[in-house]
Chain A
């Protein structure tokens, strides 16, 4: 038996037997303070895995660069093809610099790509024979490029900033919120917690943080998601997670300062070249291999249409499967000093965020409609919401009406099995499953890319399934869904674009018809909730008129045009069909429209 080192309040209780003495892990304590915050799973920040990533940054970068290069060479197959990839990357980078420069870009960007890289590649292409590999100068430039990317991606975690943020931010929020809540200062801190509701098997997730590596995968609707997810992970006492944040967010100096020191690594969506993508994926793989809890949005980008993700980006997810496989093949040392027996398993934790309104809704749905089907030609010029908007958003949380629900899904292993608090995978009868054997072929652990891609696809399906199962249907989703579907049913000849151009006078729905449909769908939602296909918020099961009013007063609070509202006659209408469509989309995927 592995001997554990006791430390602080995590492990204690010494047992003696006849021959050996060993220390039993006692169950982790789960204490909630008056603020609603859990005690830290690992009390000392310097014992957190993320701390080590930063402490061992030089060695980490070397490993990242070497393995990325190796992977790309393997992918290219031959030196000539590698040269072609380098040349293509240079071309794409030059276009990026010309067409979409950002403040956060390094000052020598143009000089590096246009002068240095171009010169070397040109010379090699004309003078070098690729039979025996790249030329020395091209090899060096290959190294330079990967190193440049690696340094750009890797963030740095600073405990002091974490402390500062975790102490200052709630106070800042409280002060901010205070001004919106009749200046009742002392009530505010409780109200914040009331408005942000976290549900799920929190204690199981906390236990798992000490048994293996957590990968939290949330739905993605707003740029504020990462702040809220970070806040919720802190609230439930988990150590800081590594997470990817769009490089565009670093354009803002303040956000950039905080984010890079809170464990964010940088993702640049402009860079679609294979060298960058591989560096990014390798980064994600190495940190998970070494036991650092991570967070990424598996949908890749915010949902433009407002619906829950219907498809996931499998690239980063694939690195998780590969990290798990490698952990079974090799004994990879883990980051973090505690606990010392953290196993080699990865646990996936889906997380669903539910908002009554999304700040960027208007911009998102416009993008969705404009691009429909042309995503790859789309250039993301989106920026972080202005501080005024963010302020309004936060302010709304103390309003009596609005709430945000963060619903944690069931933790699973990478094959979708539920896990117990010891991290054991369980089959449908509750028996232990030795998941290592999924990588066994002909009696041996084997590497099989196609097989692992299929495992990744299946993992994606498990995550998506949970997104829908743990989605909490709230009043605003329901009222928007029904308003749009009733208009759609009334105008069967119109396609989506026709419906969105419906003149104002044709948008009015008789209140009684509306209520009747709300009732019908609510009944169906309750049936589905019992079957475990979704969840419904408590406020859904109230008097039907109150439910509709709850939705009406919450939906899209800060949009100048209301997605759904009552007319003077008490009927239902919409001021903005695009927004109505956006909020309606949240309930797609359950095939409820067939019942209307």
Chain B
């Protein structure tokens, strides 16, 4: 029987450990003793019942030693630190398939990062870039799709994409993740799949704002379709293909995220539209809101590659330049770009 490793015991980590437990034994790495005890004794974590095949561990060494296929599912802000800790235990034989949606930045000098600066590809790291920078693992993949943890935990049907340059990683990923209610597709465009998963957070912020303004489905559909176009332009500028954006990890995840009212990004957008101050919302939530940082990165990419991205631009003005949402809406409805589909 195969042994799979999961790093991270959040909602998604717990849900995915249970999915993988259908195909083999799963060792889930947790940091806190309390979570360890819960999983080991109470067989519950984050409101989800644990599959009997899932066993917790407090040791990354134990994960690396026993599992050649490891799925890291930790927040992007902790990802590099986690990789630094795991790196000494990892060998060239390991396969890592991450499910973290976020980007890292390495800016040369100490540039002030409260405003956007032009960003080229070399300054931006996807999670698979970080895996390869921090460890000796080359066989890397990522999984992404409309995968809201709560729905996976309820065993509702959904799909995901395992993307890797290596056929071997795709087939092993499929083997590990397949389930009667969990459909797994393969793709070779790792960068496209990773970027789609990150950039959709921008649109989730926008969707939250629209709901906060009490707008209906038309405006949301406009945001999703125009937003997809902007995501594709950003992706192409960084070297990704268009196709990944049109699949389950692209448009699929985008629709799911923009429709869900539960995500942090959506909440920030919603509360902003209701008149709260950004700083107050962020302090109050006490959690990392990926979309805020992603808007700044997207703006930086647009600056460097000279892209016209009205939604990104509008959100950037609201979040970083103190512009009002009303002005942002006016800008979006009156800007000069009038071509429907201008990406291929």
Q: Within residues 286 to 332 of chain B, which ones have a CB less than 8 A from any CB in chain A?
A: 304
Complex alpha-carbon distance, A428 and B166, angstroms:
23
Does A56 sit at the interface, judged by CB under 8 A? no
| Binary interface encoding of chain B residues 93-122 relative to chain A, with 1 for a CB under 8 A from any of its CBs, else 0 | 100000000000000100000000000100
In the assembled complex, A437 has its CB within 8 A of some CB on chain B:
yes
- Can you list, as one digit per residue, whether each of B75-93 has a CB less than 8 Å from chain A (1) or not (0)? 0000000000001100111
A415 and B135 contacting across the interface, CB-CB below 8 Å:
no
Asked if A108 is an interface residue, CB under 8 A from chain B, the answer is no
Chain B residues with Cβ below 8 Å from A435 are 92
Q: Which B residue's beta carbon lies closest to that of A439?
A: B92
Q: How many residues of B contact A (CB 8 A)?
A: 19
B138 with A458: CB separation less than 8 A? yes
**Min C-beta distance of A562 to chain B, whole Å:** 34
Could you tell me if A427 and B135 are in contact, using CB atoms closer than 8 angstroms? Answer: yes
For A434, the chain B residues whose CB sits under 8 A away are 91-92
User: Are B135 and A454 closer than 8 Å at their CB atoms?
Assistant: no
Interface residues as binary, A407-449 with B (CB distance below 8 Å gives 1, 0 otherwise): 0000000010100000000011101011111101111000010
Is A451 engaged at the interface, CB distance under 8 Å to the other chain? yes
Closest residue of chain B to A528, judged by CB?
Answer: B108
* CB <8 Å contact, B91 and A415: no
Smallest beta-carbon distance B80→chain A, Å: 12
CA distance A591 to B237 in the complex (A): 13
B342: chain A residues within 8 A (beta carbon): none
Q: Is B136 an interface residue (CB 8 A)?
A: yes
Q: Which residues on the A side are within 8 Å of B139 (C-beta)?
A: 438, 451
Task: Assess whether B165 is interfacial by the CB under 8 Å rule.
Answer: yes
Partner of B93, one of A428, A437, A448: A437
Task: Digitize A87-123: 1 where CB-to-B-CB distance is under 8 Å, 0 elsewhere.
Answer: 0000000000000000000000000000000000000
A residues in contact with B134, CB < 8 Å: 428
Name A433's contact: one of B68, B133, B136, B167 (CB within 8 Å): B136
| B168 adjacent to chain A (CB < 8 Å) | yes
| Closest residue on chain A to residue B120 by CB atoms | A591
Q: Across the interface, which residues of B come within 8 angstroms of A415, CB to CB?
A: 92, 138
Q: How far is the CA of A153 from the CA of B166 in the complex (A)?
A: 34
Q: How far is the CB of A136 from chain B (nearest CB, A)?
A: 39
Judged by a CB distance under 8 angstroms, whether A531 is at the interface is: yes
Across the interface, name the chain B residue whose C-beta is closest to A425: B136
B121 to chain A, nearest CB (A): 10
A413 to chain B, nearest CB (A): 11
Residue pair A427, B136 in contact (C-beta under 8 Å): yes
In whole angstroms, what is the CA distance A455 to B140 when docked? 12
| A451 to B133 Cα, complex, angstroms | 20
Chain B residues lying within 8 Å of A431, measured Cβ to Cβ, are 88
The yes or no answer to A127 lying at the interface (CB within 8 A) is: no
Q: Please, how many residues of chain A have a CB less than 8 angstroms from a CB on the other chain?
A: 27
Residue A182 CB within 8 A of the other chain? no
Complex Cα distance, B68 from A458, in Å, reads 22
Whether A451 and B135, one on each chain, are in contact in the complex, defined by CB atoms closer than 8 angstroms, is no
Q: Say whether A450 faces chain B, with CB atoms less than 8 Å apart.
A: yes
Q: Are B87 and A429 in contact (CB under 8 A)?
A: yes
Whether A450 and B167, one on each chain, are in contact in the complex, defined by CB atoms closer than 8 angstroms, is yes
Output the least CB separation between A146 and chain B (Å): 31
Contact with B along A442-478 (1 / 0, CB 8 A): 1100001011001101100000000000000000000
Interface residues of B in 44-96 (CB under 8 A from A): 68, 87-88, 91-93
Residue contact A451 to B166, C-beta cutoff 8 Å = yes
> Main SS of chain A's interface residues?
mixed
Interface centre among B120, B138, B139, B304 (most CB of A within 10 A): B138
Cβ-neighbour of B166 out of A440, A454, A527, A531 (below 8 A):
A454
Residues of A near B108 (CB, < 8 A) are: 527, 531
- Chain A residues lying within 8 Å of B136, measured Cβ to Cβ, are 417, 427, 433
Chain A residue with the shortest CB-CB distance to B165: A454
In the bound assembly, the distance between CA atoms of A436 and B92 in angstroms comes to 8
Give complex CA distance A450, B170 in Å: 12
Chain B residues near A458: list those with CB within 8 A.
Answer: 138
Query: In the bound complex, what is the Cα–Cα distance between A441 and B172 (angstroms)?
Result: 11
User: Are B138 and A438 closer than 8 Å at their CB atoms?
Assistant: yes
Given contacts A438-B92, A440-B93, contact A428 B133 (CB under 8 A): yes
Q: In the assembled complex, which residues on chain A have CB atoms less than 8 Å from the CB atom of B168?
A: 441, 448, 450-451
What CA separation (Å) do A294 and B92 show in the bound complex? Answer: 27
The smallest beta-carbon distance between B91 and chain A, in angstroms, is: 5
A451 to B304, CA, bound (A): 34
Instruction: Contact check, A451 vs B167: say whether CB atoms are below 8 A apart.
Output: yes
CB neighbours (8 Å) of A454 from chain B are 165-166
**Interface membership of chain B positions 128-161, coded 1 if the CB is closer than 8 angstroms to chain A and 0 otherwise:** 0000011110110000000000000000000000
* Residues of A contacting B93 in the complex (Cβ-Cβ under 8 angstroms): 437-438, 440
What separation, in Å, do the CA atoms of A429 and B139 have in the docked complex? 19
B28 CB to nearest chain A CB (Å): 22
A448 proximity list for chain B (CB < 8 A): 167-168
Shortest Cβ distance from A436 into B: residue: B92
Distance in Å: Cβ of A375 to nearest Cβ of chain B: 23
Residue numbers in B under 8 Å from A427 (CB-CB)? 87, 135-136
How far, in angstroms, from A591 to B121 measured CA to CA in the complex?
Answer: 11
Q: How far is the CA of A441 from the CA of B166 in the complex (A)?
A: 12
A487 to B167: give the CA distance in the assembly, Å: 47
The residue that A437 contacts in the complex, of B87, B91, B167, with Cβ under 8 A, is: B91
Instruction: Report A454 CB to chain B, min CB distance, Å.
Output: 5
Q: Which residues on the B side are within 8 Å of A457 (C-beta)?
A: 165
A448 to chain B, nearest CB (A): 6
Instruction: List B contacts of A455 (CB < 8 A).
Output: 138
Q: How far is the CB of A279 from chain B (nearest CB, A)?
A: 28
Q: Mark A560-592, 1 if CB is under 8 A from B, else 0.
A: 000000000000000000000000000000010
Q: Which residues of B contact A440 (CB under 8 A)?
A: 92-93
Q: Distance (Å) between the CB of B315 and the closest chain A CB?
A: 25
Closest residue to A457 on the B side, CB-wise? B165
What's the minimum C-beta distance from A460 to chain B, rounded to whole angstroms?
Answer: 13
B257 shortest CB reach to chain A, Å:
31
Tell whether, in the assembled complex, residue A437 and residue B138 are in contact, meaning their CB atoms are under 8 Å apart.
no
Residues of A within 8 A of B138 (CB): 415, 438, 455, 458
Tell me how far the C-beta of B104 lies from the nearest C-beta in chain A, rounded to whole angstroms: 15
Chain B residues closer than 8 Å to A527, beta-carbon distance: 108
Cα distance, A527 to B168, chains bound together (Å)? 41
Closest to A426 in B: B136
Contact partners of A443 in chain B: CB under 8 A: 68
Contact with A along B159-180 (1 / 0, CB 8 A): 0000001111000000000000
Give the residues in chain A near B165, CB-CB below 8 Å.
454, 457
A428 to B135, CA, bound (A): 8
Output the least CB separation between A166 and chain B (Å). Answer: 41
Contact residues, A499-519 vs B (CB, 8 A):
none
**A429–B135 CA distance with the chains assembled, in angstroms:** 9
Closest A residue to B164 by CB, please name it. A454
- Are B166 and A450 in touch, CB under 8 angstroms? yes
Q: How far is the CB of B200 from the nearest CB of chain A, in Å?
A: 28
Question: In the complex the two chains form, what is the Cα distance from A407 to B68 in whole Å?
Answer: 40
21 residue pairs A–B, Cβ–Cβ below 8 Å = A415-B92, A427-B87, A427-B135, A429-B88, A433-B136, A437-B93, A438-B92, A438-B93, A438-B139, A440-B92, A443-B68, A448-B168, A450-B168, A451-B139, A451-B166, A451-B167, A454-B165, A458-B138, A527-B108, A531-B108, A594-B304
B residues bordering A, Cβ < 8 Å? 68, 87-88, 91-93, 108, 120, 133-136, 138-139, 165-168, 304
5 A-B pairs with least C-beta separation: A437-B92, A437-B93, A438-B92, A450-B167, A440-B93
